[in-house]
Amino acid sequence: MSDQHSFETLAIHAGQEPDPLTGAVVPPIYQVSTYKQDGVGGLRGGYEYSRSANPTRTALEENLAALEGGRRGLAFASGLAAEDTLLRTLLTPGDHVVIPDDAYGGTFRLFAKVISRWGVEWSVADTSDPAAVRAALRPRTKAVWVETPSNPLLGITDIAAVAEVAHQAGARLVVDNTFASPYLQQPLSLGADVVVHSTTKYMGGHSDVVGGALITADAALAEELVYHQNAMGAVAGPFDAWLTLRGIKTLAVRMDRHCANAERVAELLVAHPKVTEVYYPGLESHPLHEVAAKQMRAFGGMVSFRVAGGEEAAVEVCNRAELFTLGESLGGVESLIEHPGRMTHASTAGSPLEVPADLVRLSVGIESADDLLADLKQALG
């Protein structure tokens, strides 16, 4: 499949040629652990054991690489499994990482409670400000970690500008592209060295599969990541890979609807008297709206807002919502609502990444926008 095809075409066809044995247009689920070898060391198609490689996972990994414009994609059992493998590939004890002041709670927990015990140091910077990133660099900084848009405050980082800062210091730039998806943003083309995804979210898109991914255009780094993926073993299973591929086929059309619905939700919230602040990069009032417009196709399906009345009022909004399902995760076709301080970001309490107590986060789905607006109005009271 030529990488000259449009995104929508690549999403459906890259890595997914019809099965040569039967002509099946969907890659089979190779639910198998091991493979018959053609003599000792004679691997048929390069497959020997499904931790090392599996044809269904290969199809997904080729698709991921095509969509992000990378040389190699790797699929994992979860987004955090992908992150852990990447960090243990890039870092050794004594190294340093710059992390954002707004990020997924699980990512922060991985740095603060797991990787730090391995002797890796980290410090926090406002990655929306390249000068702040530069000031946070140390002699042993090996990576700068970015989420854009960020979780849950929808901050925006100028990927090209921060890539320049990182590379001048000899560090790699890692971009978590989960909130945008490769349909809206392609960090590798802007200078990132590695892209991270929780494919559980928009890539899978249907709240029925957990997975993660790494994509890079660096051939040498790709070889290291493949080695560590096999050595550490947190790979995507064949059925999970198949479900993710199925979701990706409709990624473009789903994201168009997510974005359109989120824009209407943000407009409602901005005008509502019980909302004190709205976080959405599609709003012209967003401090980095122009940067988002420059590096994104559209502004995504995530919206966060603060509620007058404080934490208890925010919790009540979450509890009163009906069409917006109270739950963690995001990026599915159904709309979700949550209280980050008590749910997805509880692990950041007391840290520089602690989120406002009156914050509510929405994952705006693809239902009727009118129905979603009506539900928010009644939830806000």
What is the residue-wise DSSP string for 81-125?
Answer: HHHHHHHHHH--TT-EEEEESS--HHHHHIIIIIGGGGT-EEEEE
Q: Give residue-wise pLDDT tens across range 150-174.
A: 999 999 999 999 999 999 999 999 9
SS3 call for 158: coil
Angstrom CA distances, 379 to 277, 312, 376, stand at 17, 13, 5
Co-location of 179 and 311 in the same domain: no
Domain boundary among 230, 248, 266: 248
Token pair, residue 191, equals 């200078």
For residue 44, the model assigns a pLDDT of: 84
For residue 39, the model assigns a pLDDT of: 85
CA nearest neighbour of 86 among 147, 165, 173: 173
Give the CATH number of the domain where residue 312 resides.
Answer: 3.90.1150.10
Q: 11 and 4 in contact (C-beta within 8 Å)?
A: no
For residue 312, the model assigns a pLDDT of: 97
Residue 320 reports pLDDT greater than 60? yes
Active site (annotated) includes residue 51: yes
Asked whether residue 239 is assigned to any structural domain, the reply reads yes
State what percent of residues in the chain have pLDDT above 70.
99
Asked whether residue 177 is assigned to any structural domain, the reply reads yes
Asked whether residue 120 is assigned to any structural domain, the reply reads yes
Co-location of 310 and 175 in the same domain: no
CA nearest neighbour of 305 among 198, 202, 381, 380: 380
Q: Give residue-wise pLDDT tens across range 12-22.
A: 999 999 988 89
Find the catalytic residue in 35, 47, 104, 279: 104
Co-location of 202 and 81 in the same domain: yes
Give the number of other CB atoms < 10 A from CB of residue 184.
Answer: 25
Stretch (H or E) spanning 194: strand 194-198
Asked whether residue 282 is assigned to any structural domain, the reply reads yes
Asked whether residue 337 is assigned to any structural domain, the reply reads yes
Stretch (H or E) spanning 154: none
Co-location of 241 and 262 in the same domain: no
Co-location of 63 and 94 in the same domain: yes
Q: Give residue-wise pLDDT tens across range 274-303.
A: 999 999 999 999 999 999 999 999 999 999
Stretch (H or E) spanning 135: helix 130-136
Between CA 321 and CA 317 the distance in angstroms is 6
Q: Give residue-wise pLDDT tens across range 183-200.
A: 999 999 999 999 999 999
Co-location of 223 and 338 in the same domain: no
Co-location of 13 and 103 in the same domain: yes
Between CA 278 and CA 289 the distance in angstroms is 13
Domain boundary among 188, 218, 248: 248
Co-location of 278 and 198 in the same domain: no
Sequence-ordered list of residues with C-beta below 8 angstroms from that of 133, at least 6 positions apart, any chain = 98, 125, 126, 127, 144, 162, 165, 166
Co-location of 259 and 166 in the same domain: no
Co-location of 258 and 173 in the same domain: no
Q: 161 and 132 in contact (C-beta within 8 Å)?
A: no
Active site (annotated) includes residue 104: yes
Give the number of other CB atoms < 10 A from CB of residue 364.
Answer: 28
Give the CATH number of the domain where residue 230 resides.
Answer: 3.40.640.10
Find the catalytic residue in 51, 88, 138, 320: 51
Asked whether residue 1 is assigned to any structural domain, the reply reads no
Q: What angle do CA 214, 83, 259 make, to 5 degrees?
A: 65
Omega of the bond leading into 152 within 30 degrees of 0 (cis): yes
Find the catalytic residue in 172, 201, 254, 361: 201
Overall domain count for the chain? 2
Find the catalytic residue in 84, 101, 102, 176: 176
Active site (annotated) includes residue 176: yes
For residue 293, the model assigns a pLDDT of: 98
Token pair, residue 291, equals 């940067």
Q: Which domain holds residue 119?
A: 7-248
Token pair, residue 213, equals 């991914």
Q: What is the CA radius of gyration of the chain?
A: 21
Q: Give residue-wise pLDDT tens across range 264-282.
A: 999 999 999 999 999 999 9
DSSP tag of 133: H
| Section 98-125 average pLDDT | 96
Domain boundary among 248, 276, 307: 248
Asked whether residue 13 is assigned to any structural domain, the reply reads yes
Co-location of 265 and 222 in the same domain: no
Mean pLDDT across the chain, nearest whole number?
Answer: 97
Q: What angle do CA 72, 180, 206 make, to 5 degrees?
A: 90
Q: Which amino acid is at 367?
A: E
Residue 313 reports pLDDT greater than 90? yes
Asked whether residue 2 is assigned to any structural domain, the reply reads no
Name residue 215's beta-bridge partners.
73, 195
Co-location of 319 and 368 in the same domain: yes
SS3 call for 17: coil
Q: Is the pTM of this model over 0.85?
A: yes
